[in-house]
Structure 1
Amino acid sequence: MRIFWQSFVDRDIGASYLTALQNYLNDIAAPGTRVDVAGMVPPDRDFSRLSELRCGLQAIDAALAAEERGYDCFVMGHFQDPCLYDVRSAVRIPVVGTGEATLLAASQLGRRIGLVSIDPAFEIMHYEQADLYGIGHRVKFVKGLGLTPEDFNEAFAGDAEKKVALLKGFTDCALPMVQGGADVIVPAGVLPGLLIGGEKGFMVANAPVVNCAAVALKSAEMWVQLNALSGLEPNRGPSFGYANERSRNDFRTLMAHGQNALRSN
């Protein structure tokens, strides 16, 4: 099984993180599973709706390319899942959104979910996500840490003190949520998810903390297996109708050459 994992972090700027992520995912993968992590240029660096859309469009293009290269599954390795439904309608291989998979998994572990995001700019987006996935009434708290991907680099490069400081900051952010009634905590980002990935049994007070990186990978493995067993795939009617060849070609032309190329066709 080959899984393509699309991160929204720059391969050079976030080198220590992407290396740690690829090593971690392949360490916990089932026998016979290979995970290839790809970065993005430019990365998601401005934390805005426009940046999310641009990165989402690049992810669609990457998913189409991954399918052509024979990958068995595409993972949107960015918790906000921009253009997730569009990716799902563009390819026939299973598509897993880290945010979607993690929120649905968290809803099985507790009734009231608290999300710790990287930056406050994402707070409203996460509430909208929860509404989109049908569990808006379960997500009671969202709080941003006010960090950037670069803030995690030293920890993933092996700086133990930096890791301890980040874990403390995460706990300090999540604790008021638990005190206010949250009974499960979700790191709303693969960066903080990977940070707690090596902390077995990590909790904030009595609330379990869900490792979104592990959940996304195991969801990907599950959907590949289910697809192989019975051909199970998303609804191809009104929900995720499969884009025809011309639609896919038009999109890839736009991404590769811009709007003028479409006009010439």
Structure 2
Amino acid sequence: MSASKTKFRIWAQGATDKAGHRSYLSKLLPHMQASIDPEFEVEFHTTTPSVTTLHALSEFRFSREVIRSAIRAEREHYDVFFMNHFQDVGLYEARASVNIPVLGLGETSLLHACTLGRRLGLLAINHAFITTHADQVLRYGLQQRVAGIRAVNATMADWMEAFESAEKKAELEQVFVREARRLMDMGADVIVPTGGIPMMLFGEPGANVDGAPIVNGVTVVVKAAEMAVKLRRLGASATSRVPHSGFALPDEKTLDEFINHG
């Protein structure tokens, strides 16, 4: 690290906003700060309007935010970028747009979970996301490692209330455990909540369902971001830029057209 640079900077991009998700952010942000090593600093960026509807258009809108934010992060000299949104929308496009490492909560959580057991069970916050997560499993080549995908099927209001009400949290946790056990009956031995919200509610240190660990991907992606920076300093290989990888960097014209018209 140069004398003029006191800390490595991590840009964390959320799909949440300070108003509608304040109860969640009040737990998420201190957790992120407590997770980082002293030589790093993490700055969490919200999205307004946030992603609160269960529709493909909302996800598409956020993907644009992810790409533009990754470009801005590089230009403002951040060392690494990650999105705190399990669906990983815009992940590949952002990775193809900048030279700094780009991570997604979903990909990072799933790949780490593969080191904890043989087969994963994905537990979504709503049934609407099951198809999206199935697509992710295919994209990351994890078909043989995922036993199944189920959902708690609660509303965003339910999830936010659970951060403030012990009774509501217990109600959702009962459903969470029931669905996790159904995934275990299908062969899962690791439970992956598919979002920062259930990760922060049910992924406390040592959390498990009948011995199956519950992955808190928020912790994982923060530490993976640090590792990406440290590996880069050690000269580890960077992102593939060969044309058929899909991660070749854009030329100046392509980048300018996206920034000004995308």
Decide: shared fold, TM above 0.5: yes
Give the secondary structure class of the aligned counterpart of 2:155. Answer: coil
User: Which residue number corresponds to residue 196 of structure 2?
Assistant: 190
State the shift of 1:231 in Å. Answer: 5.6
2:139 is equivalent to residue 132 of structure 1:
yes
2:49 is equivalent to residue 42 of structure 1:
yes
Alignment root-mean-square deviation, CA? 1.5
Identify which of 11, 16, 38 aligns with 2:18.
Answer: 11
Instruction: Check conservation: 2:126, 2:152, Cα contact below 8 A.
Output: yes
2:237 is equivalent to residue 232 of structure 1:
yes
The unaligned stretches of length 5 or more in structure 2 are: 1-7
Instruction: Check conservation: 2:68, 2:259, Cα contact below 8 A.
Output: yes
Give the secondary structure class of the aligned counterpart of 1:191. Answer: helix
Identify which of 103, 106, 110 aligns with 2:113.
Answer: 106
State the shift of 1:172 in Å. Answer: 1.8
State the shift of 1:175 in Å. Answer: 1.2
Instruction: Summarize the alignment of residues 144-163 of structure 1 with structure 2, pairs less than 5 Å apart.
Output: 144-156=151-163, 158-163=164-169
2:187 is equivalent to residue 181 of structure 1:
yes
Identify which of 225, 237, 254 aligns with 1:247.
Answer: 254
C-alpha distance in 2, partners of 1:32/1:155?
34
User: Which residue number corresponds to residue 203 of structure 1?
Assistant: 208
The unaligned stretches of length 5 or more in structure 1 are: 256-265
C-alpha distance in 2, partners of 1:36/1:163?
28
Counterpart code for 1:118: I
C-alpha distance in 1, partners of 2:171/2:9?
35
Counterpart code for 2:170: V
2:102 is equivalent to residue 75 of structure 1:
no
Instruction: Provide Cα deviations, 1:62-85, integer angstroms capped at 9, x if missing partner.
Output: 111111122111111100101111
C-alpha distance in 2, partners of 1:246/1:11?
35
Quick check: 113-122 or 239-248, which moved more? 239-248
Give the secondary structure class of the aligned counterpart of 1:31. Answer: coil
Give the secondary structure class of the aligned counterpart of 1:134. Answer: coil
Instruction: Check conservation: 2:123, 2:151, Cα contact below 8 A.
Output: yes
C-alpha distance in 2, partners of 1:45/1:154?
15
User: Which residue number corresponds to residue 176 of structure 2?
Assistant: 170
Give the secondary structure class of the aligned counterpart of 2:143. Answer: coil
Give the secondary structure class of the aligned counterpart of 1:61. Answer: helix
State the shift of 1:245 in Å. Answer: 2.2
Counterpart code for 2:14: S
Would the alpha carbon gap of residues 76 and 162 (structure 1) be closer, same or farther in structure 2, given more than 3 Å must change?
A: same
C-alpha distance in 2, partners of 1:77/1:234?
20
Would the alpha carbon gap of residues 170 and 73 (structure 1) be closer, same or farther in structure 2, given more than 3 Å must change?
A: same
Give the secondary structure class of the aligned counterpart of 1:90. Answer: coil
Would the alpha carbon gap of residues 207 and 201 (structure 1) be closer, same or farther in structure 2, given more than 3 Å must change?
A: same
User: Which residue number corresponds to residue 3 of structure 2?
Assistant: none
Would the alpha carbon gap of residues 16 and 173 (structure 1) be closer, same or farther in structure 2, given more than 3 Å must change?
A: same
Instruction: Check conservation: 1:9, 1:149, Cα contact below 8 A.
Output: no
Quick check: 111-120 or 13-22, which moved more? 13-22
User: Normalising by structure 1, what TM-score?
Assistant: 0.90
C-alpha distance in 2, partners of 1:188/1:47?
14
Identify which of 125, 140, 143 aligns with 1:118.
Answer: 125
C-alpha distance in 2, partners of 1:22/1:71?
18
Would the alpha carbon gap of residues 148 and 73 (structure 1) be closer, same or farther in structure 2, given more than 3 Å must change?
A: farther
2:65 is equivalent to residue 58 of structure 1:
yes
User: Which residue number corresponds to residue 142 of structure 1?
Assistant: 149
User: Normalising by structure 2, what TM-score?
Assistant: 0.91
